[in-house]
Amino acid sequence: MMAEGGDAGRKGVRGSLLGWLFGDRASQAALAWSLVPVRVTLGAMFAASGAQKAFGWFGGRGFGATVEMVAEGVKLPLPGLFAVLLVFAELVGGALLVVGVATRFFAIQLAVAMVVAMLTVKADAGYLGTYLQQLIIAACACLVVAGGGRLRLSQLWSGSSRLARE
């Protein structure tokens, strides 16, 4: 019978390394920790994008340009309202993703924003022109399904005694 990393009797670094590298199992702790860079990177990316849209920071054009983009590029009714919702999802949602609060709620909002972008602003870009939005949707799906992983601020009030516990 073969073990995940080689022969059942084989022990040592090589066997365990190969088992880890080519195996399909991960511990619950490893899975929980693997969500941290996804959540933090996605959150930082969206918080910066929201700051561009809201305040013109980081080379952005500010809220007026965001309203104009929603009106002319996305072509949604009530562009002011949808611009506020977009900025809220990106700026507030991104910041809360970084610290791990309401992860699933904001991951859903951000995935919806990316679907809207793909169907409107990026509609003529084709499959390869929307790879970033597709990747973001996939990362959001991981967070919706599995939650925010470890090191979440929400653990302070969810009954966990320490931030590193799932």
Is residue 51 a contact partner of residue 60, using CB atoms and an 8 Å limit?
A: yes
As a dihedral over the C-alpha atoms of residue 26, residue 31, residue 33, residue 36, rounded to 10 degrees, the angle is 140
Which among 112, 43, 126, 36 is positioned nearest to 74, based on CA atoms?
Answer: 112
Record the tokens describing residue 77, joined without a space: 């009714």
- Residue found by looking up tokens 């670094």 in the block: 13
Is residue 20 a contact partner of residue 5, using CB atoms and an 8 Å limit?
A: yes
For position 111, what pLDDT does the model report?
Answer: 98
For position 161, what pLDDT does the model report?
Answer: 47
For position 7, what pLDDT does the model report?
Answer: 46
Residue-level pLDDT, tens digit, the chain, 166 residues: 344 444 444 455 556 787 778 887 788 888 889 999 999 999 999 999 999 999 999 999 999 999 999 999 888 899 999 999 999 999 999 999 999 999 999 999 999 999 999 999 998 998 899 999 999 999 999 999 999 999 898 877 766 545 444 4
**98/92 Cα distance (integer angstroms):** 10
Assign 3-state DSSP to the chain and report helix, strand, coil percentages, each to 5.
70, 0, 30
The distance between the two most distant Cα atoms of the chain, rounded to a whole number of Å, is 67
- Residue found by looking up tokens 């009530």 in the block: 78
CB atoms within 10 A of CB 146: 16
For position 74, what pLDDT does the model report?
Answer: 87
Record the tokens describing residue 161, joined without a space: 């005694």
Record the tokens describing residue 72, joined without a space: 């002319």
